[in-house]
Amino acid sequence: MKLQKLGKNTSPKASVSGITRFGIWIIVNDCEYYLNYKDYPWFKKSTVEQITNLQFKRGYHLIWPDIDVELELESLIHKEKFPLIYF
């Protein structure tokens, strides 16, 4: 019996791709988003370990459990629909 080659992984995924002194970069489903510390201040004093512990639930819910931060992917894609400033 010959095994077939596995197909492409289609599971939604998210990861932190960079951390700078001005903000963080995350990649979600092959799209990159920048979260600056001015608009997302919770990340500024967080450790690298806390920031990189990112979970992606149900294909739209970003969670950083170590710093108690939850964001909807929609709020990053369509910022104009979410005019509130986070603090």
Compute the distance between CA of residue 48 and CA of residue 54 in angstroms, rounded to an integer: 11
Range of the domain at 50: 14-81
For residue 58, give the amino acid letter. Answer: R
Residue 5 belongs to some domain of the structure: no
Residue 87 belongs to some domain of the structure: no
pLDDT value at residue 82:
77
Residue 26 belongs to some domain of the structure: yes
pLDDT value at residue 44:
94
Ordered per-residue pLDDT tens for the chain, 87 residues: 565 665 554 556 999 999 999 999 999 998 999 999 999 999 999 999 999 999 999 888 999 999 999 999 999 888 888 776 655
DSSP letter (8 states) at residue 12? -
Count other C-beta atoms under 10 Å from residue 12's C-beta: 13
pLDDT value at residue 83:
75
CATH of the domain at 75: 3.30.2020
Report the number of distinct structural domains present in the chain: 1
Question: Quick one: tokens of 86?
Answer: 């986070």
Cβ atoms of 26 and 40 closer than 8 Å: no
